[in-house]
Chain A
Amino acid sequence: MNDAPPIHVDGLTKRFGALTAVDDLHLAVVPGEVYGLLGPNGAGKTTTIRALMGFIGPSAGSVSLLGGHARELRIRQRVGYVGGDVLLDRGLRVDNLLSWYASLRDGVSRARIDELCEHLELDTSRKIGQLSTGNRQKVAIVQAFMHDPDVLILDEPTAGLDPLLQRSVLRMVRERREAGTSILYSSHTLPEVEQIADRVGILRNGILVQEDTIENLRDIARQRLELRFSGDVPGQVLDEVEGVSSVEVDGHTAHVVVDGSVAALVDRLAGQGVERIVSHDDDLEDIFFEYYQDGDSADGARDDGHRATETEPVDGPSSEEAAS
């Protein structure tokens, strides 16, 4: 029983009526590992997480945390959870909610709560209903970390936080990883997961289409860059650069799509008067276009995750601006 990974999803299937939200999902997170669960909204991330937390039961397969199930109190005692759309009782003051939640657990010290609130610059005397989205998110993070959990389940934990606070949260996550906590971290953007995850699984329509280390995923990830030149874009400078799959020039600006590393492109641009590089890689469908290009005809295309990367999408969501 102790050999089971602390976070284990074994053949999980969850149906809501005719909709299959998660289909035969397998994943495991070992101690001291951050697993990034990546997928667009509606891919099944939250369903997987709610099944792990015992809020919903599987239609088939099983989930386990720390060798048991989240329905057992002794398991939840050691689990920290930040839900997707955080909703805490609006009428309560922050410190009242945190003391209440702490009282449901053993051995959470007031000092630890204060330390976390201070770290995140959270004003505990205000009512939760009066807080901004970001500050409410902080409350959710404090309550998830205050008991130094052995398992952390984080559903888009930095949503609504400014970049500075996002970094604070990522630092807290890394601290827990150092302490041996198993962490499931869901997100719909690659850059966020890239900073924190050791391994990444990509969910699409409830199916894990790819699971790999972050290094390997970087090799196939697509980046959309906007290059602002000081003058007109020099002719031919962007021709036949390794990794560049499409270029569109518009006066001083070039829109470039790169598959994998941008190293060759940056080498080529040296001394060409590039004033500004803007990255537009927030859109997961865009980054992993090969997994999503058949998004509209999902039923017939469940195995397309292994398709060759050379395929240029013709009708995919990423092709609108790409002129190859």
Chain B
Amino acid sequence: MVEEMPEGVLEMMGAADGLTTPAGYLNSQLYSNVFPIVLLIFGISAAAWSIAGSEREGTLESLLANPVHRWRVALERLTGIALLLAVLTFVATALLAALRSPFELDDLGIGALTAAGVATFLLALLFTGITYAIGAATGSKGWAIAGGAGLATATYVLFGLSSLVDFFENVRWASPWYWLLQPSPLADGWTFQAIGAPLLVVVPVAAIGTALFTRRDLT
């Protein structure tokens, strides 16, 4: 049945390699769905709180009356969120590695799982960083969540439709989900687009957000 499914549907499920290989199965069931989405929910909500949320709460201003730089507070909070994301990723990857045998996925090496874990972490970090940057630049938790979660959803849909609609296929290079899933680090290891591309985007975005935060009025 699986073989009869249109290629586009398979790709949309993140299973371009086919659902019958271990890598394809995990891609469709885990790496294109549950795993990054859990990380995203955590990262986006924490990032929205880090500046904009605590600012609205009123606690940020109390803290910034102390002799501490705004950029230091901001970057320390972003770093904290990144570390927690990394811990979540590590736990999930370790569980997966430990459960390989019972689920008969022994073909997957630790190296491939690690590469896929790091790539998923970076995808989550990318949208977390965008959320953080919008919140830092505007002080609006609403805009921060809308921006981070909205972009994550839009690029997910874009990638999903790219195998069905020519227009989206031409722009799918812009989707971080494309970077993560095609080719997948699970099958192909440490690819530049899965590892380097998210970092190339998130670092300047976070830097710009932080710079704007140090200059603007607190709300």
List the interface of chain A (C-beta within 8 A of B): 50, 53, 55-57, 73-74, 76-77, 79, 81, 83, 85-89, 101, 104-105, 140, 143
Given A73-B67, A77-B67, A87-B57, also A55-B217 (CB < 8 A): yes
Contact yes or no, B64 A73, CB < 8 A: no
Contact yes or no, B58 A56, CB < 8 A: no
Given A85-B58, A87-B58, A89-B59, also A57-B217 (CB < 8 A): yes
Q: Tell yes or no: B66 within 8 A of A by CB.
A: yes
Q: Which chain A residues lie closer than 8 Å to B68 at the CB level?
A: 73, 104
Query: Min CB distance, A171 to chain B, in Å?
Result: 23
List the interface of chain B (C-beta within 8 A of A): 57-59, 61-69, 217-218
Q: With contacts defined as CB atoms under 8 Å apart, how many contacts are there between chain A and chain B in the complex?
A: 44
Among A81, A85, A89, the residue within 8 A (CB) of B65 is A81
Among A73, A76, A83, A105, the residue within 8 A (CB) of B62 is A83
Most buried by A among B66, B69, B217: B66
Contact yes or no, A56 B218, CB < 8 A: yes
Q: Which chain A residues lie closer than 8 Å to B218 at the CB level?
A: 50, 55-56
Q: Which chain B residues lie closer than 8 Å to A73 at the CB level?
A: 67-69
Query: Min CB distance, B45 to chain A, in Å?
Result: 16
Q: How far is the CA of A76 from the CA of B63 in the complex (A)?
A: 11
Query: Min CB distance, A47 to chain B, in Å?
Result: 10
Contact yes or no, A140 B62, CB < 8 A: yes
Given A85-B58, A87-B59, also A105-B67 (CB < 8 A): yes
Q: How far is the CA of A245 from the CA of B64 in the complex (A)?
A: 49
Q: Which chain A residues lie closer than 8 Å to B65 at the CB level?
A: 53, 76, 79, 81, 83
Query: Min CB distance, B206 to chain A, in Å?
Result: 21
Q: Which chain B residues lie closer than 8 Å to A79 at the CB level?
A: 65
Query: Min CB distance, B175 to chain A, in Å?
Result: 37
Query: Which residue on chain A has the smallest CB distance to residue B73?
Result: A104
Q: Which chain A residues lie closer than 8 Å to B67 at the CB level?
A: 73-74, 76-77, 104-105
Query: Min CB distance, A128 to chain B, in Å?
Result: 10
Q: How far is the CA of A223 from the CA of B217 in the complex (A)?
A: 40
Query: Min CB distance, A165 to chain B, in Å?
Result: 20
Known: A74-B67, A83-B65, A86-B62. 15 other contacts (CB 8 A): A50-B218, A53-B65, A55-B217, A55-B218, A57-B217, A73-B68, A79-B65, A81-B65, A83-B58, A86-B58, A87-B57, A101-B63, A101-B66, A104-B68, A105-B66
Contact yes or no, A55 B64, CB < 8 A: yes
Q: How far is the CA of A56 from the CA of B64 in the complex (A)?
A: 12
Contact yes or no, A83 B66, CB < 8 A: no
A-B contact pairs, 20 of them (CB 8 A): A50-B61, A55-B61, A55-B217, A55-B218, A57-B217, A73-B67, A79-B65, A81-B65, A83-B58, A86-B58, A87-B57, A87-B58, A87-B61, A87-B62, A88-B62, A104-B68, A105-B66, A105-B67, A140-B62, A143-B62
Query: Which residue on chain B has the smallest CB distance to residue A58?
Result: B217
Q: How far is the CA of A73 from the CA of B64 in the complex (A)?
A: 10
Query: Min CB distance, A155 to chain B, in Å?
Result: 11
Q: How far is the CA of A104 from the CA of B195 in the complex (A)?
A: 36
Q: How far is the CA of A74 from the CA of B61 in the complex (A)?
A: 18
Contact yes or no, A104 B66, CB < 8 A: yes
Q: Which chain A residues lie closer than 8 Å to B57 at the CB level?
A: 87
Query: Which residue on chain B has the smallest CB distance to residue A88?
Result: B62
Q: How far is the CA of A185 from the CA of B67 in the complex (A)?
A: 21
Q: Which chain A residues lie closer than 8 Å to B66 at the CB level?
A: 76, 101, 104-105
Q: How far is the CA of A57 from the CA of B66 in the complex (A)?
A: 18
Q: How far is the CA of A85 from the CA of B62 in the complex (A)?
A: 10
Q: Which chain A residues lie closer than 8 Å to B64 at the CB level?
A: 55
Q: How far is the CA of A105 from the CA of B67 in the complex (A)?
A: 6
Most buried by B among A83, A85, A89, A143: A89
Query: Which residue on chain B has the smallest CB distance to residue A86?
Result: B62
Query: Min CB distance, B140 to chain A, in Å?
Result: 15
Q: Which chain A residues lie closer than 8 Å to B62 at the CB level?
A: 83, 86-88, 140, 143
Q: How far is the CA of A306 from the CA of B57 in the complex (A)?
A: 41
Q: How far is the CA of A105 from the CA of B58 in the complex (A)?
A: 21
Q: Which chain B residues lie closer than 8 Å to A89 at the CB level?
A: 59
Query: Min CB distance, A54 to chain B, in Å?
Result: 8
Q: Which chain A residues lie closer than 8 Å to B63 at the CB level?
A: 101
Q: How far is the CA of A101 from the CA of B65 in the complex (A)?
A: 10
Q: Which chain A residues lie closer than 8 Å to B69 at the CB level?
A: 73
Q: Which chain B residues lie closer than 8 Å to A143 at the CB level?
A: 62
Query: Which residue on chain A has the smallest CB distance to residue B66?
Result: A104
Query: Which residue on chain B has the smallest CB distance to residue A101?
Result: B66
Query: Min CB distance, A236 to chain B, in Å?
Result: 56
Most buried by B among A55, A79, A88, A140: A55
Q: How far is the CA of A140 from the CA of B63 in the complex (A)?
A: 11
Q: Which chain B residues lie closer than 8 Å to A104 at the CB level?
A: 66-68
Contact yes or no, A83 B217, CB < 8 A: no
Among A56, A74, A101, A140, the residue within 8 A (CB) of B217 is A56
Q: Which chain B residues lie closer than 8 Å to A87 at the CB level?
A: 57-59, 61-62
Q: How far is the CA of A262 from the CA of B79 in the complex (A)?
A: 63
